[in-house]
Structure 1
Amino acid sequence: MLGGGKMEDSRIIELYESRDQQAISQSDMKYGGYCYSVGYNILGVREDTEECVNETWLRAWNSIPP
């Protein structure tokens, strides 16, 4: 892990590949703030932004073959 408790990308990918649900929480911990900022700048609505960020993690999860 890197400083600040954030996991390296390669380790997050390993979690997705092993179907470990921690992959989503680690992705959100590392990139959630950035994704939220981008989404909010486009949408301007907190609830819609949160839904889009959650959908991002779900699509990442579903795109990794089991």
Structure 2
Amino acid sequence: MAAPAPETIEVTQSRVACDGSGGASGHPRVWLQIDPEKGYVECGYCDRRYVLKPGAASGEH
């Protein structure tokens, strides 16, 4: 049986914070930087994929 696909979240900034959003079952907050060449970054803890929305400036903070 295949594992469910990780959650994908569209964002407007290239720097994002991830804490797993699971409350007590989440993970420590980590800051991630979207690679402008790829257009996304994946969290090393929960595998969430953060995708830069089309038209969003990759240099925003």
Q: TM-score range by the shorter chain?
A: under 0.3
Tell which has more relative contact order, 1 or 2 (C-alpha 8 A, sep 6+): 2
TM-score, normalised with respect to structure 1: 0.25
Query: Relative to total residues, which structure has the larger strand share, 1 or 2?
Result: 2
TM-score, normalised with respect to structure 2: 0.26
